[in-house]
A and B are shown apart, each in its own frame.
Chain A
Amino acid sequence: MGSFFGAKQQKWLLLAPAILVLSLISFVPFLKTLWLSFTDSEISALPTVVSFIGLENYHYALTDPDFVHSLGRTLYFTFSSVAAEVVLGVGVALLLNQQFKGRTLIRALIILPWAIPTIVNAVTWRLIYNPDYGALNALLLQIGLISEYRSWLGDPAVAMNMVILADVWKNFPLVAYVALAALQTVPMDMLNAARLEGAGAWRRFYKITLPWIIGPLLVIIVLRSVEAFRVFDIIYVMTRGGPANQTKTASFYVYQEYFSYLRSGSGSSYAIIVALISIILIFGYYKAAKRQNGTL
């Protein structure tokens, strides 16, 4: 093959199948959504006339204070859950990187939360948070942290944080696994040398381990952030956006405009707004990564 094509052509040839599939399942729908977002298209079984209405849908979405609030709420969800997942994930990875009896078993078990479907995870946590017979209330009452059973998902002040906790529990194993894989590449002689020089555990982690694993960590942070910003399923199951919209994220508005109110044009504009913010997030992380070590 190499003799017929130059290195450049060969690259494209090898990429062609992937590009073809990607454009069919990703670019084409994206362009269609983009087009729809500038129209007044609606879902209907009857023949309808679709007209171009410019930026009207975007204007409608961005002048809706409820939707604008939901963007802030979604960012809060994204940053809190990803931050907690990274701290917890790296911590667990450090533990799993130690030598101890039963390590293989624990390493296998830790992936379980991530292997559970989101819907099942959400339903399970809803049961745990149940105000009348939930395990969380029972636990906190028994150890004396609360004096009577209380509502968690029904309390606007804490509902979002309770959903975040459920999301962190499900997703931290993924971060832990990536971090663990990265940790295994950290050269032991470097750590041992630092130890001999008298560097403490925290210093060794901060100066050697962390810079060594930051690349793979940033990749997983980007992936998780984009996923978290689009969050819908766990919220749909746990709270449906309540109480009083306190957990209603941006993707919920896409669903609502599109499938409840059947305005496919307007719903598409909400989807594009969510996608644009995700892209900005990705861009921000890549910039940060570049500054960090010039890689990626």
Chain B
Amino acid sequence: MKLKKLLVASTLVALTSAMQAATAAETTIKALFMSQAAYSEDNVKSMTAAFEKSNPEIKVNLEFVPYDALHSKIVAASGAGAQGYDVVLFDVIWPAEFAKRGFLLDVTERIPTDYSSQIFPGAWTTVEFAGKRYGMPWILDTKYLFYNTAMLAKAGIDTPPTTWDELLVQAKIIKDKGIVKYPLVWNWSQSEGMICDYTTIMSAMGGEFFVDGKPAFNKGGAVKALNYMRGSLDSGLTNPSSREFSEEDVRRVFSNGEAAFALNWTYMNALANDPKESKIAGKVGIVAAPGSKGISTASAVNGSMGLGIPSGSAHPDQAWAFISHLTKASTQEKFAKLSLPIWKDSYSTAAVTEGQQSLVAAANNAIAVMYPRPLVQSYAEISDILQVRIHEVLLGQNDAQSALDAASKKVARIR
């Protein structure tokens, strides 16, 4: 009996040590991405395959989750230490919180200094907090105004709107001519996406979230923007279902030819022009979101995302090699259909501009005016508070001024 046990045990030991010897040369890193907007899963898999080919000693395990699960995953994995992730995708609104809580490694020293001027400032915002960098920007994204060129032509409209007021005028013409029932569609479910739409319109109308650290979203342009959103519903120009739509719903409605205008991320440009995904391929126009007379000529929200290394990672060097591969100009230029590069020079290369000149033109206008959501540690809570109050107004349960006043009171209560 004893002998038998001993035999089994020693065989096991021999086996495991043999296995360890075989894998000693190879490091496996775990990476967390999202499967929603921007680069598709296929894109990320192709990029990773290329990386593994040129770095045979590193193997990458990919995991994809919806955007909404990303934050919780990163936080929960921070407790797992070396068992957690080695590379994570994070949103522009999180670095303040992550830096304060030590979830991400400070990688300022790893970034070559000449990168600073080669990458757009809006992209850098994604990874910076208090003068330090917690990753490399990767997805440089904002919401653009998409329009159905056939519908505009049918309505006798020559150029897409340059102001938000003009958008309503054009939408009314299209509705009155019976071309489409609801010309406008938005991602106004109670979600971060709705805050992105609100930020875009608010920045165009000169509103601000905070002034000197105090809530200012219950004043001026910020209130005007919410009234504008509410008004577009009251006048029957906005599809009322927008109030429960995600980005993907917006894409589906617009691609089905059931809306004349839509605000959405870069990725919709390629997909709305893909005949397999869309009924309106080839009839998709794209411009930077409009401005407001006397205040702005275009508007955009900073919706960028970056790649960082969780502080518990056991393989920060390999993780950084992978991040460097994903964020380098040549990789980004090769996959520029669903997400545009962070590199300024890329926008004049044929690989990026070919077949999507209008997207690149829109991007050139939008990137210059990208407006940030509040870069504070308690952003998640501020956003939740705003989401509820804004949604109340969109549902007709409250007026813009008192809803935003209530939000500002609640934000002041945050601990």
Whether B266 is near chain A, meaning CB under 8 Å from some CB there, is: no
Across the interface, which residues of A come within 8 angstroms of B384, CB to CB? 256, 260
Chain B residues in 8 Å Cβ range of A259: 72, 75-76
Do B395 and A261 touch across chains, with their CB atoms under 8 A apart? no
Report if A151-B253 is in contact (Cβ < 8 Å); known contacts: A156-B395, A244-B391: no
Question: Which residues of B218-274 are within 8 A (CB) of A?
Answer: 240-241, 243-244, 253
Contact call B190/A240, Cβ cutoff below 8 A: yes
Task: Kindly identify which residue among A64, A131, A266 contacts B241, using a CB–CB cutoff of 8 Å.
Answer: A131
B278 CB to closest chain A CB (Å) equals 16
Chain B residue nearest to A64 (CB atoms) is: B413
Does A260 contact B381, Cβ atoms closer than 8 Å?
Answer: yes
Write the B89-105 contact mask toward A (1 if CB under 8 angstroms, else 0).
00000000100111100
Residues of chain A within 8 A (CB-CB) of B101 are: 42-46, 262
Distance between Cα atoms of A42 and B311 in the complex (Å)? 17
Say whether B189 faces chain A, with CB atoms less than 8 Å apart: yes
Among residues of A, the one whose C-beta sits closest to the C-beta of B258 is A132
A245 contacts the other chain (CB 8 A) = yes
Residues of A within 8 A of B161 (CB): none
- CB <8 Å contact, A132 and B241: yes
For B367-387 the 0/1 string (1 means CB < 8 A from A) is: 000000000001011001000
Tell yes or no: B397 within 8 A of A by CB.
yes
Contact size class for B? Answer: 20 to 34
Chain A interface, DSSP helix/strand/loop, else mixed? loop
Q: Does A60 contact B (CB under 8 A)?
A: yes
Whether B78 sits at the interface, judged by CB under 8 Å, is: yes
The 17 sampled A-B contact pairs (Cβ below 8 Å) are A43-B101, A44-B100, A45-B311, A46-B101, A156-B395, A240-B68, A240-B189, A240-B191, A243-B243, A243-B395, A244-B391, A244-B392, A245-B391, A259-B75, A259-B76, A260-B380, A262-B101
Q: A residues engaging B (CB < 8 A)?
A: 42-46, 60, 64, 66, 131-132, 151, 153-154, 156, 240-245, 256, 259-263, 266
Given A260-B72, A261-B378, 17 further pairs, Cβ under 8 A: A45-B101, A45-B102, A45-B103, A45-B312, A64-B413, A131-B241, A156-B397, A240-B68, A241-B190, A243-B391, A244-B391, A244-B395, A245-B388, A259-B72, A259-B76, A260-B380, A261-B380
